[in-house]
Amino acid sequence: MSKDNSSEKINSDVRADKMKLFSIGSVVLLAAIILLVNFLFDKILGKAMTFDFSDSSQNSVSKETIDYLDTLSPDTRIRIVGLFNRPDNVASTKYQYIVPLLDDYVKESNGKITVEYIDPTEHPTIISQLDPTNSYDLANQSENFVVEYNGKIKVISPIDCYSYDEEYYRSTNNYLIVGNNTEYTFTNAMYVLTNGYSAKAYVVTGLKEEGNEYITKILNSMSIDVESLPVSENFAVPDDCSLLILNGPNSDISEKMYVAMSDYLSSGGKLLVAVDYSSINVNENFVRLNLLLNQMNINIDPLLIYENDPAYQLSGYAYDSNVTAVEPFDEFSSLPILHATYCRSVKQAENPNSAYITLPVLATSDNAATLQVDPETGRAVDNGMITTAKYYVAMYSYVDGVDASEAFVFGTLNFTSDLYISSYGLNDYNVEFLRSCVRELVDVELIDGVNVQTKMIDSFSLDTTKSTTSASTAVLVVFMVLIPVVLIGMAVIVYSKRKNL
């Protein structure tokens, strides 16, 4: 081998070694840059680069919430504290739809809302900070959230943030989530704290009713504080009662209750009553309750409404039907055709009180009937059907004057019961109608909560203008992992091709 050839080979090897080191250094430098950029994006722009592609925007606050936050003064400070350590991974936990949404509250509030996670077992002073008088027993509220504003607080449990299938729960004692009310719950908690309660409602309990969880949520969202008023020997309607509610009683009121409620109505009280026809109350004629309502020209019928008109029946079922809102109540809901199930008719009392004006609220078709049902078999009694006619499922009664008494009486529980509202959501037309009735009974100018839509969880469709957490993760994987890996692979291929040149 000649000297020149040897020198040329040495120079070529040196050049190849330099190119090898350059290529390896370039790959290492590129990887370091990618890791650094990924870290900076996550720490600085992580939330800003998170998008919500889900059809129902589970992780984003709605325009209604943003509009409410914009009405607050810039110096408003609302503090949300989770009484637990923030989970590293909320997927498939009860916080799955709560924690990401609270992050969006912070983002959209422009400093008006802060969110913290403080475990009281590790930092016990948080209890005295939020509740100095220990009125809420926060030490036993771990895993819940506290919303605080100007020294006032509301406690929110994760269970408050969802709607459940009530029938499934009653049959299995397990929860089946059907709707996400997280935004509804938190936004209206903030609304109440920043505006204060405007009225006080008492719900009578102890008459074999099913429950009042959802009507309480609805009234709270309207800035109405709600308390239970249990049946007792010393039953009395409190002086601060703005609205008295009997929601689904399956047994009659007592004589003591009748006297107390009669006095309340005589003093300008407001009353909301809802009953239905069921196997539990088939033999209950509500004698004393009707005596009370008769004072306002209203009477609850003991018979079951049977809808003969197929156009009104739902799924061909005569006991599950549409009812029509009667003028002027047809403006109480954006849809005047509403849903009623297992109804008793509500009608004028036989001996009307001339001081009261009584109006029909919800009507069946002209071809409906009422019938008697055998409580043992659940079947209609032979020859038990009453003459075909139009019947009313709800009525309204009032007397003119300052602080005059008023009442809405429903012969169905489809507007107030946990079973119905949990199945159809807090934004159902029936619920919208109920809100309007409450506004009619209680000062409407003081009640105007934030009407946030329930987000149904059973929708997994994607909207191309939005993104879920998983979708945004996929975007990050593409841009932060796949593309860099492709670039590194190309660099390796270029190096392997050029090293033999």
CB atoms under 10 Å from CB of 136, counted, come to 16
Domain, as residue range, for 478: 14-53+467-498
Q: Looking at residues 425-434, what average pLDDT do you find?
A: 91
Q: Are 488 and 27 in contact (CB under 8 A)?
A: yes
Tell me what pLDDT residue 354 has: 83
Among 196, 213, 236, residue at a domain's last position: 196
Query: For position 389, which CATH number holds?
Result: 3.40.50
Q: 312 and 235 in one domain?
A: yes
Query: For position 60, which CATH number holds?
Result: 3.40.30
Percent of the chain with pLDDT over 90: 52
Q: Which two tokens stand for residue 272?
A: 């909301």
Q: Looking at residues 263-277, what average pLDDT do you find?
A: 95
Please check whether residue 69 lies inside any domain of the structure.
yes
Tell me what pLDDT residue 78 has: 97
Please check whether residue 267 lies inside any domain of the structure.
yes
Please check whether residue 460 lies inside any domain of the structure.
no
Q: 204 and 190 in one domain?
A: no
Q: 349 and 402 in one domain?
A: yes
pLDDT in tens, 54-101: 445 678 898 999 999 999 999 999 999 999 999 988 888 889 889 999
Q: 358 and 225 in one domain?
A: yes
Sequence-distant (≥ 6) Cβ neighbours of residue 329 within 8 angstroms = 359, 361, 362, 396, 433, 436
* One-letter amino acid of 385: M
Q: Looking at residues 197-225, what average pLDDT do you find?
A: 90
Tell me what pLDDT residue 160 has: 84
How sure is the predictor about 15, in pLDDT bands with cuts at 50, 70 and 90?
A: low
Q: Looking at residues 467-474, what average pLDDT do you find?
A: 49
Please check whether residue 214 lies inside any domain of the structure.
yes
C-alpha 67/C-alpha 46 separation (Å) is 25
Pairwise pLDDT comparison (297 vs 450), residue with the higher score: 297
Q: Looking at residues 140-162, what average pLDDT do you find?
A: 91
Q: 87 and 127 in one domain?
A: yes
Tell me what pLDDT residue 230 has: 97
Q: 206 and 164 in one domain?
A: no
Contacts 24+ apart (CB under 8 A), 27-31: 27/488, 27/491, 27/492, 27/495, 30/484, 30/487, 30/488, 30/491, 31/484, 31/488
Tell me what pLDDT residue 226 has: 93
Asked if pLDDT for residue 148 goes beyond 90, the answer is: yes
Q: Looking at residues 146-151, what average pLDDT do you find?
A: 94
Q: Looking at residues 303-311, what average pLDDT do you find?
A: 93
Tell me what pLDDT residue 388 has: 84
Asked if pLDDT for residue 46 goes beyond 70, the answer is: no
Tell me what pLDDT residue 418 has: 93
pLDDT in tens, 326-370: 999 999 999 999 999 999 999 999 887 888 999 999 999 999 999
Asked if pLDDT for residue 258 goes beyond 90, the answer is: yes
**Which has the minimum average pLDDT: 145-159, 161-175, 301-315?**
161-175
Q: 335 and 302 in one domain?
A: yes
| Mean pLDDT taken over the chain | 83
Q: 356 and 228 in one domain?
A: yes
Pairwise pLDDT comparison (464 vs 355), residue with the higher score: 355
Q: Which two tokens stand for residue 377?
A: 């078999």
Tell me what pLDDT residue 11 has: 58
Q: Which two tokens stand for residue 128?
A: 């005295």
Among 181, 196, 211, residue at a domain's last position: 196
How sure is the predictor about 41, in pLDDT bands with cuts at 50, 70 and 90?
A: low
Q: Which two tokens stand for residue 77?
A: 């400070």
Q: 281 and 135 in one domain?
A: no
Burial grade of 361 (CB within 10 A; 0-12, 13-18, 19 or more) = buried
C-alpha 233/C-alpha 241 separation (Å) is 19
Please check whether residue 9 lies inside any domain of the structure.
no
Tell me what pLDDT residue 429 has: 94
CB atoms under 10 Å from CB of 254, counted, come to 16
Using only the alpha carbons of the chain, give its radius of gyration.
Answer: 32
Q: 370 and 401 in one domain?
A: yes
CB atoms under 10 Å from CB of 35, counted, come to 12
Q: Looking at residues 211-224, what average pLDDT do you find?
A: 88
Please check whether residue 456 lies inside any domain of the structure.
no
Tell me what pLDDT residue 469 has: 46
CB atoms under 10 Å from CB of 58, counted, come to 21
Tell me what pLDDT residue 350 has: 87
Tell me what pLDDT residue 465 has: 42
Pairwise pLDDT comparison (365 vs 375), residue with the higher score: 365
β pairing state of 380-385 and 368-373: antiparallel
Tell me what pLDDT residue 466 has: 42
Please check whether residue 8 lies inside any domain of the structure.
no
> What DSSP state is assigned to residue 478?
I
How sure is the predictor about 461, in pLDDT bands with cuts at 50, 70 and 90?
A: very low
Please check whether residue 115 lies inside any domain of the structure.
yes
Q: 480 and 405 in one domain?
A: no
Asked if pLDDT for residue 382 goes beyond 80, the answer is: no
Tell me what pLDDT residue 47 has: 47
Domains in the chain, number: 3
pLDDT in tens, 124-139: 999 999 988 777 789 8
Tell me what pLDDT residue 70 has: 94
Q: 186 and 210 in one domain?
A: no
Bridge partners of residue 317, in order along the sequence: 314
pTM: 0.67
**Which has the minimum average pLDDT: 86-90, 199-203, 289-293, 451-455?**
451-455
Tell me what pLDDT residue 164 has: 78
Tell me what pLDDT residue 453 has: 75
